[in-house]
A and B are shown apart, each in its own frame.
Chain A
């Protein structure tokens, strides 16, 4: 409960400052706001332009009907001297009722047709040549990404090549989640016992953020998604490095020993070693990711130390238990983790 009021005060001041700073501040931001009106992929663009049409129709209706309401309020308000006199009573008119039924019917017909066409365009079965397959699995509260054709498994941060159609098979290990990166595609739920599909074809390289959009328990808020759209060359480089086994330097042997002799291995995989757990994220190339805990903290040494010492502190409710190791052993363990590049 502590600290809320000062935080709000600070935020008010910051917000006022932000109005002044405006564009300059936007330019230095690392993360682009995940606005659906700033699309960077084929389906998101199709939705964007479709939305513009829907918004235009609705705005026109709003202006007409809202205008009539405003006119009625101004024009027909009671004036001094009206007391005791009643206006003419009008009980209804079938012609008028018919008119304002037919017009909405026409609007609905148009909207329904456009909607059907857009649905058929976006929810398609046929896949173009050279599409990339990825299986995304939702867990409480992190994402697992598996590239079946490339033999790569990673977590929370997806890499896709620019300009290539990418099809995701969405599966869940536990409850319902929802995959949503607004600039790349609309959301699709991730449902246990069923495989849903989602596709995207990114137009420009960059980092796109999103997150789980279906309430999935305590840490629903920190089930963030980062999608790196890479150039072809960057993507190939990334694939090649991910396909390698874990390179374990002799210097971090003690840390590795701790890792492999504690409960870590029950949940985590480090390819090329004895760690083969599947319950938590694959750590083979841990340091190739920019965040940990599904986006709750930057992936640096300090965060990792805190994460291993008290995961619940960084991410209350997280399913990873604290390892109860003395600080020196934690340092050794993190030495090993940061070597997993």
Chain B
């Protein structure tokens, strides 16, 4: 890394192959961050098209747009893609890009590990999609994996999933998981050892704090998934019996292992959303975040409690009364720190002068939608109600409210907020508003109604349904909402293309913000800061802009 010249003053001829070479060989945290985010967005479009195909199939009863086999592959690939190839890389990408800038460092702690992690993630994702071509294997059976994104055994075992489709699912996730793990190691090491002068832990931006906590959760929760997948691989290739019910193996053990990963995973995906909101809401409300230390504490609490709630995905498997009550209570307890965060954001807005630019619009929608998601989450923790709606469309609606209404909306907000920093160009405000309204209305049309199907008895993962069940109108409306969401995303894509070609120059600090990334140029130079910054409070740029009333007097 030392070979990169500090000041790139000499004009060079830039061939396309040079640019490509730059991006492929880069160890720069900013380029890797953009690579992570861009690949995540590409996979988001793919996963979205898979969802669209499913909604066409389900728009009317007894449809034959796709066959049952194709449908089962669609929802498996959709879920796997959205969690492992969209959520994970985008959160890692923002962490990569922003953590060094926010703590006044010149790069991540391990730049080469960082590049390795990105390419592992990307090839893991490609491996998963290669299954469409390659998984026919020796057995001539199967195409893409079709066992659902949580691949319950024994269905995912050799006896019921012949061919190699499930093996691609296992290997694709294991390989891309190395990307997440190395990213997590990197983010913690960076935040703990690379902070600029004066940046004590208590002065780190909330974004950095939350990414550190998420990284710890990744390190604790992701290896168990890898371990369980290795066991499944041993079952499938070596004739082991971890999940083989014929040899005394337990069918539910996989579920415990999977959800011991899977539930923290939900928070691993959602806490970065909180992180973006915790930066965006104060800036656009023009107020310091309310209760900084409470926000940190609440996130730590979520991190710990989320490790003891996994079996709330399994209330119907026939656990005893004691376990059911334990996991119900623990799940409701997670709601407390989560609620505190919501209140702190509200309190930040209170008394502010809120500028509703596009990033803030998305964060406001996030607050409302995440409120719904949190409350349906509490309802799902209410075991007897869960017995009715688990594995129904109610659950599908709930977690899409978390992951789209919560995470995707904050990601869109984050993109509108930090795109000027990354590219030096503003995204068009008017196009952004079209994107926002179409997407949010479409999202609510689709997923608010989806609660209805669940309450009316429609299970998830069915490729079609009889015409006499009374679900027809609900499904039709759900499918129609997709059109609006696609239109919204098209506006977003157009806004990005337009900004890259002819966007208005952003300047260093277009939002009048307070954290260190806005003190350097847009896009930042290779080494981020000309001279290492020195900070005295949590909002160094506020101190700079308000020398008469700086933060460090109050913290």
User: A residues near B, CB below 8 A?
Assistant: 1-4, 7-8, 10-12, 14-15, 18-19, 26, 29-31, 33-37, 44, 46-47, 50-51, 54-55, 58, 61-62, 65-66, 68-69, 72-73, 76-79, 82, 85-93, 96-97, 100-101, 104-105, 108, 111-112, 115-116, 118-120, 122-123, 140, 170, 174-176, 178, 180, 182, 185-189, 191-194, 196-197, 209-221, 224, 295, 316-317
Residue of A nearest to B333 (CB): A108
- With beta carbons under 8 angstroms apart, the residue of B68, B387, B392 that contacts A47 is B387
B67 interfacial by beta-carbon distance below 8 Å = yes
29 A-B residue pairs with Cβ-Cβ distance under 8 Å, sorted by A, are: A7-B60, A8-B476, A11-B472, A26-B470, A35-B456, A50-B382, A51-B385, A61-B375, A69-B364, A76-B349, A76-B354, A86-B353, A91-B292, A92-B292, A93-B291, A100-B339, A115-B381, A115-B383, A118-B383, A170-B318, A178-B459, A182-B388, A187-B316, A191-B251, A193-B249, A194-B318, A219-B68, A221-B462, A224-B466
- Complex CA gap A188/B249 in Å reads 20
What chain A residues lie within 8 Å of B389 (beta carbons)?
36
A187-B387, A213-B392, A316-B68 are contacts. A76–B56 as well, Cβ < 8 Å?
Answer: no
Contact B328 A213 (CB under 8 A): no
Q: Please choose the segment from B14-22, B170-178, B365-373 that sits at the chain A interface, where 4 or more of its residues have CB less than 8 A away.
A: B365-373
Q: How far is the CB of A195 from chain B (nearest CB, A)?
A: 8
B234 interfacial by beta-carbon distance below 8 Å = no
Residue of A nearest to B61 (CB): A11
Q: How far is the CB of A168 from chain B (nearest CB, A)?
A: 12
- Complex CA gap A212/B460 in Å reads 10
Contact A78 B384 (CB under 8 A): no
A11-B60, A175-B154, A214-B391 are contacts. A90–B336 as well, Cβ < 8 Å?
Answer: no
- Complex CA gap A240/B329 in Å reads 48
Contact B316 A189 (CB under 8 A): yes
Contact B292 A175 (CB under 8 A): no
Contact A180 B354 (CB under 8 A): no
Q: How far is the CB of B65 from chain A (nearest CB, A)?
A: 4
Contact A35 B351 (CB under 8 A): no
Contact A8 B375 (CB under 8 A): no
- With beta carbons under 8 angstroms apart, the residue of A10, A47, A116, A220 that contacts B385 is A47
Interface 1/0s, chain B 283-297, versus A by CB < 8 A?
001111011111000
What chain A residues lie within 8 Å of B457 (beta carbons)?
33-36, 180, 182, 209-210
- With beta carbons under 8 angstroms apart, the residue of A47, A55, A116, A187 that contacts B390 is A187
A62-B375, A87-B353 are contacts. A191–B291 as well, Cβ < 8 Å?
Answer: no
What chain A residues lie within 8 Å of B249 (beta carbons)?
193
B72 interfacial by beta-carbon distance below 8 Å = yes
A87-B353, A91-B555 are contacts. A100–B375 as well, Cβ < 8 Å?
Answer: no
Residue of A nearest to B66 (CB): A1
What chain A residues lie within 8 Å of B160 (beta carbons)?
140, 174-175, 217
A72-B346, A90-B288 are contacts. A47–B384 as well, Cβ < 8 Å?
Answer: yes
What chain B residues lie within 8 Å of A180 (beta carbons)?
391, 457, 459
Known: A34-B456, A86-B546, A191-B251. 5 other contacts (CB 8 A): A35-B455, A76-B353, A101-B340, A112-B325, A116-B325
Contact A212 B335 (CB under 8 A): no
B12 interfacial by beta-carbon distance below 8 Å = no
Q: How far is the CB of B541 from chain A (nearest CB, A)?
A: 13
A91-B288, A192-B245, A214-B391 are contacts. A37–B455 as well, Cβ < 8 Å?
Answer: yes
Contact A186 B387 (CB under 8 A): yes
Interface 1/0s, chain B 325-369, versus A by CB < 8 A?
100110011011001101110110111111110000000100110
What chain A residues lie within 8 Å of B155 (beta carbons)?
175-176, 215-217
- Complex CA gap A34/B455 in Å reads 9
Tier of interface size on chain B: 35 or more
- Complex CA gap A89/B290 in Å reads 9
Q: How far is the CB of B394 from chain A (nearest CB, A)?
A: 9
Query: Which residue of A119, A211, A215 has the most chain B CB atoms within 10 A of its CB atom?
Result: A215
Residue of A nearest to B337 (CB): A101
What chain A residues lie within 8 Å of B356 (beta carbons)?
77-78
Contact A220 B461 (CB under 8 A): yes
B428 interfacial by beta-carbon distance below 8 Å = no
What chain A residues lie within 8 Å of B65 (beta carbons)?
1, 4
8 A-B pairs with the lowest CB-CB distances in the bound complex, closest first: A186-B387, A33-B470, A34-B457, A221-B462, A196-B318, A92-B291, A11-B60, A192-B245
B378 interfacial by beta-carbon distance below 8 Å = yes
- Complex CA gap A238/B65 in Å reads 40
What chain B residues lie within 8 Å of A120 (beta carbons)?
321
What chain B residues lie within 8 Å of A104 (beta carbons)?
335-336, 339-340
Query: Which residue of A31, A58, A115, A316 has the most chain B CB atoms within 10 A of its CB atom?
Result: A115
A7-B60, A33-B471, A89-B288 are contacts. A50–B385 as well, Cβ < 8 Å?
Answer: yes
Contact B251 A193 (CB under 8 A): yes
Contact A62 B371 (CB under 8 A): yes
What chain A residues lie within 8 Å of B325 (beta carbons)?
112, 115-116, 119
B180 interfacial by beta-carbon distance below 8 Å = no
What chain B residues lie within 8 Å of A175 (beta carbons)?
152, 154-155, 160
B197 interfacial by beta-carbon distance below 8 Å = no
- Complex CA gap A211/B321 in Å reads 25
Q: How far is the CB of B70 from chain A (nearest CB, A)?
A: 10
What chain A residues lie within 8 Å of B346 (beta carbons)?
65, 68-69, 72
- Complex CA gap A14/B473 in Å reads 9
Q: How far is the CB of B259 from chain A (nearest CB, A)?
A: 14
- With beta carbons under 8 angstroms apart, the residue of A96, A188, A217, A219 that contacts B318 is A188
Residue of A nearest to B329 (CB): A112
Contact B476 A15 (CB under 8 A): yes
B324 interfacial by beta-carbon distance below 8 Å = yes
- With beta carbons under 8 angstroms apart, the residue of B318, B324, B555 that contacts A191 is B318
What chain A residues lie within 8 Å of B554 (beta carbons)?
89, 91
Beta-carbon contacts under 8 Å, B425-471 to A: 455-457, 459-466, 468-471
What chain B residues lie within 8 Å of A18 (beta carbons)?
472-473
Interface 1/0s, chain B 59-82, versus A by CB < 8 A?
110011111110010000000000
Residue of B nearest to A214 (CB): B391
Residue of B nearest to A61 (CB): B375
Beta-carbon contacts under 8 Å, B381-424 to A: 381-392
A46-B384, A187-B391, A210-B457 are contacts. A66–B60 as well, Cβ < 8 Å?
Answer: no
Q: How far is the CB of A246 from chain B (nearest CB, A)?
A: 30
B196 interfacial by beta-carbon distance below 8 Å = no
- Complex CA gap A8/B142 in Å reads 30
- Complex CA gap A165/B61 in Å reads 35
Residue of A nearest to B336 (CB): A104
What chain A residues lie within 8 Å of B392 (beta carbons)?
213
Q: How far is the CB of A291 from chain B (nearest CB, A)?
A: 10
- With beta carbons under 8 angstroms apart, the residue of B67, B349, B465 that contacts A316 is B67
Residue of B nearest to A212 (CB): B459
Contact B352 A192 (CB under 8 A): no
Contact B384 A176 (CB under 8 A): no
Beta-carbon contacts under 8 Å, B239-276 to A: 245, 248-252
What chain B residues lie within 8 Å of A194 (beta carbons)?
251-252, 318
- Complex CA gap A316/B292 in Å reads 57
What chain B residues lie within 8 Å of A185 (beta carbons)?
387
- Complex CA gap A257/B257 in Å reads 52
What chain A residues lie within 8 Å of B472 (beta carbons)?
11, 14-15, 18
A29-B470, A91-B555, A176-B154 are contacts. A100–B251 as well, Cβ < 8 Å?
Answer: no
Contact A66 B387 (CB under 8 A): no
